[in-house]
Structure 1
Amino acid sequence: MSESVDRAVNAMKEQIDAPTASYFSSCVHCGICADACLFYTETGDPQYTPIHKLDLMRRVWEREYTFAGRIKKWLGLSRNITENDLTKWETLVYDSCTMCGRCSLYCPVGNDIVSMVRKMREAMVASGHAPEGLRHASKRSVEIGSPMGITAKTLEAQIKHAEKETGLEVPLDKEGVDYMMLLSSAEIAQFHEIIPAVTRIFHQAGVTWTLCSTAFEGTNSGIQIGSSDIAAELINRIVDGAQKLKVNYVISPECGHAYTALRWEGPNLIGKPYPFEVVHIIELLDQLRARGKLKVEGKDDTRQTFHDPCQMVRRGGVVEQPRTLMNLVATDFVEMPDHGMMNWCCGGGGGVSANERAEPLRRKVFSAKKQQLDQIGVERIVTACSNCRNMLEEGLEDNNMDEIEVIGLSEWLAEYLATPSADAAGDKS
Structure 2
Amino acid sequence: MSKIIPFKAVRPTPDKVALVTCRNYDDYSSAELAAWLSFNPYSFLHVINPAYMYSQKITLDKRFKGVAHKYQDFKEEGIFMEEDKAVFFLYEIQNKVQSFTGFIAGTSIEDYKNNVIKKHEDTLQYRVEYFKDYLHQTGFNTEPVLITYPDNETLNSWITEKKKSQPIYNYSTTNKEKHQVWKIETAAEIQWLQQQFEKIPELYIADGHHRSASAELLYDEDKHLGNENLNYFMSFLIAESNVKIYEYNRIIRDLNGFSKDDFLEKLAENFIIKDKEQELWKPQSKFEFGMYLDGHFYALFYKQENKQPSILENLDAQILYDKVLQPLLGIEDLRNDERIEYIPGKQSISTIKELVDEGEFEVGFMLFPSDISEIKALADNNLIMPPKSTYIEPKFRSGLMVYEL
Question: 1 or 2 for the larger relative contact order (CA 8 Å, sep ≥6)?
Answer: 2
**Where on the TM-score scale, by shorter chain, does this alignment land: which range?**
under 0.3
In the superposition, the TM-score normalised over structure 2's length comes to 0.26
Structure richer in helix, relative to its length: 1
In the superposition, the TM-score normalised over structure 1's length comes to 0.25
Structure richer in strand, relative to its length: 2
